[in-house]
Chain A
């Protein structure tokens, strides 16, 4: 008894009020914050790419291939935090071999595989096929073989074949948009369907997740585009940038309205959980929700972007505003995920107490590993860009 008391004493400091014993420690930690963040970026980047093909938005053409590769790089990394969190990655195969249709979590494998293979890879293949053939013709050594293998040894660059490519891309994109919605809406669904948790349980959850995903995806492509053009020493295409920032602005407004709607709805309903949730917001989540997510991640970038719309701002300054806004949006969306995942576990289901989350530095569930997972997609993207240069100049006439 003495011994237990000694072990408990430091843990009890992180608790206020009454809490069930199994709620003291959080089970979904930083890795589960990283996972919806990354999947969100995938869906967002893909939807941006679809704008070019489906809605024929000419201006953002320079980012089309870049968005596709970004989506692919992040999609490859997306399940890794999950696998690290659950452990036994070799068993992940079983969800494909013995599918359990009544489990939303188990269905993720299929949604993921569908999205990866039927949408992203196919679209990239069709889009690059002709260029790959031409590149391979003029190359030697390893790169020639890599490119040839990726074309599946196809050599047909005839008018008819290219026309078929184009039509396929359009068809895939049309299938792809609902698929991207599914991919990230699914993540929101997982949280929204936890009946016992009033912070999560909301039908709006999938939609809020989706729009924050689009916001983060657009902001990410904008950032990557700016940095990469800078590194390559090229001129930034201002029309493209303005268009991207415009989309960012409008989706942010939708996202903001949805989140406000969710918030007001909760306030108006005032279910029995409202007491503890308001304690949560005004206490443990104050900095991450009000200061970072709302002020830094939403209001400030919105103000920046709308000032560009309202006043005549010189291009140089515009670029700075876009860059800083997009960066803030990334921070904001990451804390959005944090506030959902971590926030939902900070209060007791008895609605009478709160616990705290202390992140560890090392270990699988620690900060360093999560940072690794956040950096990894950029390394993958670097490799992808080396193999499939997305630049306009690389495109064969």
Chain B
């Protein structure tokens, strides 16, 4: 009993020592802290943070959304011919539903839910129109001049789009380089003068690669001071000009510039 009264006395004494300011400030601070805790309890959804920095129920909401898309393996059951053909073709990386739209409903009831097929000419250039930012080698055309007015699908099978005839010109696939060269001093030099190209390259370009010049002497065949080329060809001293670098470290071969 005695001990407790002593403690109470001591606490009273201590409390008196706490500056008035601290007591007063602690009230708004307490209100803030309690307010924060109450708000957190009221406003933060109870399942927040169960799996990560989000509401766990958000997953259920997403799961409960209606499924629109299917998968090309699902098509195999009924369209095995198309799937097989496409898997062998250049469009093997392009999903069926990219062109035909979401197909989940079609699989449930094919007759009731017909899928559209993009037969119109404007569609394919979405991917194939010539754009400088597309990588070299990606098949591109300028739709205004590439067999105009006819539907693409009248010549190219959408599921196996290889050209009806093997392209003869390199330009069909290397449009940017061809266009660049057409404006350059090398305009009259054909591609195969510099790139020995196997015939198969035009059919399966990645499997059969053309050669590329690899030495300084190659350009020297025309540009060396002693080369037997035509008179107008500008000459350089192969020993001193450009030193030990290959020529295309300074001159882009498809658009050589000197000035």
Contact = CB atoms under 8 A, between A and B. Distances in A.
The A contact surface, by secondary structure, is helix
B44 interface: yes
Interface string B1-38: 00000000000000000011100110110001000100
Interface centre among A100, A152, A156 (most CB of B within 10 A): A152
A93 interface: yes
A129 B43 contact: no
Contacts of B44: 97-98
Contacts of A96: 36
B117 interface: no
A354 B238 CA distance: 39
B193 interface: no
A152 B39 contact: no
Contacts of A18: 132-133
A98 B53 contact: yes
A129 B53 contact: no
A161 interface: yes
B48 interface: yes
A152 B25 contact: yes
A126 B53 contact: no
A100 B28 contact: no
Nearest to A152: B24
A34 B49 CA distance: 35
Nearest to B143: A1
A100 B44 CA distance: 14
B53 A100 contact: yes
Interface residues of A, number: 21
Given A97-B39, A98-B44, A152-B27, A161 B49 contact: no
A123 to B, nearest CB: 12
A160 B19 CA distance: 9
A161 B39 contact: no
Interface in A128-186: 129, 152-154, 156, 160-161, 164-165, 168
B40 interface: yes
B53 A161 contact: no
Contacts of B48: 98
B36 A161 contact: no
Nearest to A103: B53
Contact of A153 (B24, B43, B53, B133): B24
Contacts of B27: 152
A324 to B, nearest CB: 43
A126 B21 CA distance: 8
A129 B20 CA distance: 12
A154 B24 contact: yes
Interface string A35-50: 0000000000000000
Contacts of A154: 20-21, 24
A168 B133 contact: no
Contacts of B36: 96
A145 B56 CA distance: 48
B21 A97 contact: no
B133 A97 contact: no
A129 B22 CA distance: 12
Nearest to A164: B19
Contact of A98 (B24, B49, B122): B49
A259 to B, nearest CB: 36
A175 to B, nearest CB: 15
A343 to B, nearest CB: 24
Interface string B51-79: 00100000000000000000000000000
Contact of B40 (A97, A117, A125, A160): A97
Given A18-B133, A100-B53, A93 B43 contact: yes
Contacts of B28: 152
Contacts of B122: 1
Contacts of B21: 126, 129, 154, 156, 161, 164-165, 168
Interface in B115-158: 122, 132-133
A97 B43 contact: yes
Contact of B20 (A97, A125, A126, A161): A161
A59 to B, nearest CB: 29
Contact of A156 (B20, B32, B43, B49): B20
A140 B111 CA distance: 86
A118 B104 CA distance: 57
B51 to A, nearest CB: 14
Nearest to B45: A98
A97 B35 CA distance: 11
Interface in A105-125: 117, 122, 125
Nearest to A99: B53
12 contacts: A1-B122, A18-B132, A18-B133, A97-B40, A98-B44, A98-B48, A98-B49, A98-B53, A126-B21, A154-B20, A165-B21, A168-B21
Given A97-B39, A98-B48, 13 more contacts: A18-B132, A97-B43, A98-B53, A100-B53, A122-B25, A125-B25, A129-B21, A152-B27, A152-B28, A154-B20, A154-B21, A161-B20, A168-B21
Interface of A: 1, 18, 93, 96-98, 100, 117, 122, 125-126, 129, 152-154, 156, 160-161, 164-165, 168
Q: Lowest 9 CB-CB distances: which A-B pairs, in order?
A: A152-B24, A156-B20, A164-B19, A97-B44, A154-B24, A97-B40, A97-B43, A100-B53, A154-B20
